[in-house]
Amino acid sequence: MRKIQIATPAMVYNDISELSSEDSMLMNRAVEARKKAYAPYSKFYVGAALLLENNEIVTGNNQENAAYPSGMCAERVAIWKAGSEYPNVKILQLAISASSSIHTVDKPVGPCGACRQSLSEYEIKQKQHFSVLFMGEVGEIIKTASLDSLLPFSFDSSYL
Ligand code: THU
């Protein structure tokens, strides 16, 4: 028997003003995308922005549905948009922002488990990590270097 320890290194920024200009520009695109989310049921609005190697920025936001499970998270809307429009262009970075019309979201909101799995597929596909920045509406921002660090022991095609 042996014990292993998986660490998730992350940078924590106090607010958006501490980010580099590139990072804050991408986060602002996530915020803009968040404002166009369709979330009449949860009233929880999420925006995601992906920076691609060709300098394109692909955004997405959550799209809800009266049949609740038929809705989709912002991160998967964005990653599938990028995967379908730019299948051979690498993703360099993802920024996520979340807000609510019920309360102030002042903690960083990381991608849900299903989104981590979907995002991880593209990191593996492109054989290159991409960093993930996430925040609420205000307050701290967390930055991790890869999807891999957000989803240790992930399921991948090697098991199939
Ligand atoms: N949501 C996202 O868009 N991304 C996540 O990672 C977590 C949750 C959305 C789904 C739903 O529309 C709303 O937030 C509340 O769960």
**What's the CATH number where 139 sits?**
3.40.140.10
- Output the pLDDT for position 90: 98
User: Using a 6 Å cutoff on CB, does residue 16 contact ligand 1?
Assistant: no
Taking CA atoms only, the protein residue closest to ligand 1 atom 9 is 73
Query: Which residue range is the domain that position 75 belongs to?
Result: 15-151
Distance from C-alpha of 64 to C-alpha of 37, rounded to nearest angstrom: 9
Please enumerate in sequence order all residues whose Cβ is within 8 A of that of 11, keeping only pairs 6 or more positions apart, or say none: 142, 143, 144
- Output the pLDDT for position 106: 98
Bridge partners, residue 48, by sequence: 60, 96
Mark out the alpha helices in 53-102 (DSSP H runs).
Answer: 74-85
- Output the pLDDT for position 111: 98
Element (H, E) at 32: helix 21-34
User: Using a 6 Å cutoff on CB, does residue 71 contact ligand 1?
Assistant: yes
Residue 143 Cα to ligand 1 midpoint, Å, equals: 19
Half-sphere CA count of 19, side-chain side, radius 13 A: 20
Residue 93 included in any domain = yes
pTM of structure: 0.97
Residue 83 included in any domain = yes
Burial class of residue 58 (count of CB atoms within 10 Å of its CB; 0-12, 13-18, 19+): buried
Residue 74 Cα to ligand 1 midpoint, Å, equals: 7
Residue 4 included in any domain = no
List pLDDT tens digits, range 46-64. 999 999 999 999 999 999 9
Helix and strand numbers, DSSP H then E, in the chain:
3, 6
Residues constituting the chain: 160
Residue 155 Cα to ligand 1 midpoint, Å, equals: 22
List pLDDT tens digits, range 92-139. 999 999 999 999 999 999 999 999 999 999 999 999 999 999 999 999
Taking CA atoms only, the protein residue closest to ligand 1 atom 7 is 112
Known catalytic residues are 75
Cα 123–chain centre separation = 12
Q: Which one-letter amino acid corresponds to residue 68?
A: Y
Distance from C-alpha of 102 to C-alpha of 42, rounded to nearest angstrom: 9
Structural domains in the chain (count): 1
User: Using a 6 Å cutoff on CB, does residue 139 contact ligand 1?
Assistant: no
Residue 45 included in any domain = yes
Residue 157 included in any domain = no
Residue 1 Cα to ligand 1 midpoint, Å, equals: 39
- Output the pLDDT for position 96: 98
Which residue has tokens 């992906």?
50
- Output the pLDDT for position 154: 93
